[in-house]
Amino acid sequence: MNSITKKRVRISDAVMYGLIYLCAGISVLLIAGIIIYVFAKGFSQISWEFLTTTTSVLKGTVGIAGNILNTLYIIVLTMLLATPIGVGAAIYLNEYAKPGRLVRMIELATETLAGIPSIIFGMFGMMFFGTTLGLKYSILTGTLTLTLMVLPLITRNTQEALKTVPNSYRHGAVGLGAGKWYTIRTILLPSAMPGIITGAILAVGRIVGESAALLYTAGSSDLLPATAQAYLDKILQPGGTLTIQLYLSAQDGEFDVAFGIALVLLVIVLAINMATKFLAKKFDVNRLK
Amino acid sequence: MGKKYMSETIAKVVFTIFAIVAIVAVCSITVYMIRLGTPALLEVGVIDLLFGTEWKPTAGEPVFGIFYVILTSIAGTVMALLIGVPVGLLTAVFLAEVGNKKLVNIVQPAVELLAAVPSVIYGLLGIMILKPFMYQLELMIYKDAPEHQFTGGANFISAILVLAIMILPTVINISASSIRAVQPSIKSASLALGATKIQTIFKVVLPAAKSGIMTAVVLGMGRALGEAMAIAMVAGGAVNLPLPFNSVRFLTTLIVGEMSYSSGLHREALFTIGLVLFVFILFVNIFLTRIIKKGEAE
């Protein structure tokens, strides 16, 4: 019965194989189900009007242009703040710091920051930026809150990218008489760029999907600014992102709008996912060179 | 000092300051959470607040007891792990050991996308799909129990299911990379001794990847404890014992649900809930660093 040519199939093995394939299938079914369901429910909602107007009872329009704008504001402002700080922190950790207490503390702080739930960031942002600094519910309050939230993501990705730059590059530069900052600027950062951009795109994805940290910091207005000046003032005024509007619409039972927004969000998320894939491939090619 | 050296010094100082931002942020958040969370603790009393079973913040004589809320968060996290970890672990085994390249290339992106779906979308789908289903079940189970408070399907089970799905990517990704990191030689040794592939995976590979898998579980735990919006949409709006068909409030969903209209002591109590959550998360983090250190030592 037990020979080399005729293997006995253990029943427990077969059962385990079945379970393993089943579990792997669950993830695929879930994501396929989510995408199909959201597209089926949201597609009829999507129209030029939905994407380019704001919801107004007077005009009888239902639209999310204000929320799209708010989301863009928060993405751009957060990335403008978080990218230099996060990349800079990674440069310090990787290129300047000598192993010791400070480095351990910074790394521990970065890890802790990464583990803090977004609702805590939201409460802190509301009370610190909103109340203590007097920024109230505003896009800026939301931006500052999210900056802290995405910081670890950018720092870690940049660190990983810097680690893959061969040491010979650094030695070569120093040997030619370049200073440290000059080396970083002209050699290390360009070599690590795909990794840094991947981290930045992941951070954008995190910002687009974030809701709990924004509900009580950026607030929920969905209006569009009327004048050029108002576009600037907007930063100090409340603004609800797409996720916040989705939440509020679902609360009010306006599921058509909610699914319209869900579809827009999913498309953005899919695009971001593809962009990181593309960059990862490029990154690998660079490393082989 | 030449201009060249100036820029070198400035760069170093700026990067050092940027690196310290993370420390400043963590310290400020800690100080703020303690400062905001303690007034209600002192006013209501530590025991009454943490172990009181009644939450009536807006009653004529308000009562602030969050014991059921704490219980719900703990029980919900444990249940989500009980469902999510086995499924996630077996999926990780599939990705790292069992699946052929073609199938892995389908499952891996699916897992990545699952991680990227915003939590409000999970909540929305929970409302549209889970809630009606749960309501049907509720009607069937409790049709002869008039004393049951009907929830319309927004209940503890719905929240657990949503949480279990949301921790899947974390559990899968971290376990899969730790399984991939197991030395091939011990696998070959096991196979050479006549063990089947399945025996090798479960008796040799998984035990060798133990610390990585523990890391995955603890990270999943942190994710489940901290999730707010998705379960705020499906868990219901009343503080109750975490029983399957009860409408429940988690630490996170209570904050999301009541912050907007709270004031005075009610708001302070919400901050205490935030502090409780923060302390839980800190413990999870400490636990995590321990596991990682132990894994490195091995």
Kindly report, residue by residue over A53-96, the tens digit of the pLDDT: 888 888 888 899 999 999 999 999 999 999 999 999 999 999 99
- Give the closest-approach CA distance of B239 to chain A in angstroms: 19
Tell me the pLDDT tens digit for each residue of B173-185.
999 999 999 999 9
Tell me the pLDDT tens digit for each residue of A216-238.
999 888 888 888 888 888 899 99
Give the C-alpha separation, A156 to A114, whole Å: 10
Same structural domain, A103 and A19: no
Same structural domain, A35 and A159: no
pLDDT of residue B4: 66
Does some domain include residue A194?
yes
Contacts of B99 (CB under 8 A, 6+ apart): A24, B107
pLDDT for residue A2 is more than 60: no
Does some domain include residue A78?
yes
Same structural domain, A145 and A172: yes
Contacts of A238 (CB under 8 A, 6+ apart): A136, A137, A138, A139, A218, A219, A220, A221
Q: How many structural domains is chain A composed of?
A: 2
Beta-carbon separation of A89 and B116 below 8 A:
no
Judged by average pLDDT, the poorest of A214-223, A276-285, B36-45, B168-177 is: A276-285
Average pLDDT rounded to a whole number, residues B258-281: 95
Q: Which of A21, A117, A151 sits opposite B277 (nearest CB)?
A: A117
Does some domain include residue B196?
yes
Q: Which domain holds residue B293?
A: 66-297
Mean pLDDT score across all residues of chain B: 93
Q: Classify residue A235 by its DSSP letter.
A: G
Does some domain include residue B16?
no
Same structural domain, A202 and A98: yes
pLDDT of residue A67: 95
Average pLDDT rounded to a whole number, residues B184-190: 94
Give the C-alpha separation, B265 to B58, whole Å: 10
Instruction: Classify the phi-psi angles of A221: left when phi > 0, otherwise alpha if psi is within -120 to 50, otherwise beta.
Output: beta
pLDDT for residue B77 is more than 70: yes
pLDDT of residue A151: 96
pLDDT of residue A29: 97
**pLDDT above 90 covers what percent of chain A?**
77
Name the phi and psi angles at B226, rounded to 5.
-90, -10
CATH number for the domain harbouring residue A95: 1.10.3720.10
- Give the closest-approach CA distance of B258 to chain A in angstroms: 11
Name the phi and psi angles at A63, rounded to 5.
-155, 165
Same structural domain, A138 and A254: yes
Same structural domain, A146 and A190: yes
CATH number for the domain harbouring residue B255: 1.10.3720.10
pLDDT of residue B272: 97
pLDDT for residue A288 is more than 60: no
Alpha helices per DSSP H over chain B: 3-44, 46-51, 67-93, 101-116, 119-125, 131-141, 156-180, 184-192, 197-200, 206-208, 210-226, 229-232, 251-258, 264-297
Same structural domain, A196 and A76: yes
Name the phi and psi angles at A215, rounded to 5.
-55, -45
Q: Which domain holds residue A17?
A: 11-44
Does some domain include residue A5?
no
Name the phi and psi angles at A117, rounded to 5.
-65, 150
Does some domain include residue A21?
yes
Same structural domain, A82 and A133: yes
Average pLDDT rounded to a whole number, residues A93-110: 93
Judged by average pLDDT, the poorest of B57-66, B76-85, B140-149, B250-259 is: B140-149
Does some domain include residue A1?
no
Tell me the pLDDT tens digit for each residue of B195-224.
999 999 999 999 999 999 999 999 999 999
Does some domain include residue B17?
no
Mean pLDDT score across all residues of chain A: 91
B25 versus A61: the higher-pLDDT residue is: B25
pLDDT of residue A289: 43
Determine how many CB atoms are found less than 10 A away from the CB of residue B127: 20
Same structural domain, A33 and A175: no
- Give the closest-approach CA distance of B29 to chain A in angstroms: 6
Same structural domain, A23 and A131: no
Beta-carbon separation of A151 and B25 below 8 A:
yes
Q: How many structural domains is chain B composed of?
A: 1
In sequence order, what are the beta bridge partners of B113? Answer: none
pLDDT for residue A286 is more than 80: no
Does some domain include residue B137?
yes
Same structural domain, A22 and A145: no
Beta-carbon separation of A247 and B271 below 8 A:
no
Beta-carbon separation of A16 and B277 below 8 A:
no
Contacts of A176 (CB under 8 A, 6+ apart): none
Beta-carbon separation of A27 and B199 below 8 A:
no
Same structural domain, A131 and A28: no
- Give the closest-approach CA distance of A226 to chain B in angstroms: 28
**pLDDT class of A1 with cuts at 50, 70, 90:** very low
Q: Decide: helix, strand or coil at residue B56.
A: strand
Does some domain include residue A2?
no
Beta-carbon separation of B226 and A120 below 8 A:
yes
Does some domain include residue B116?
yes
pLDDT for residue B90 is more than 70: yes
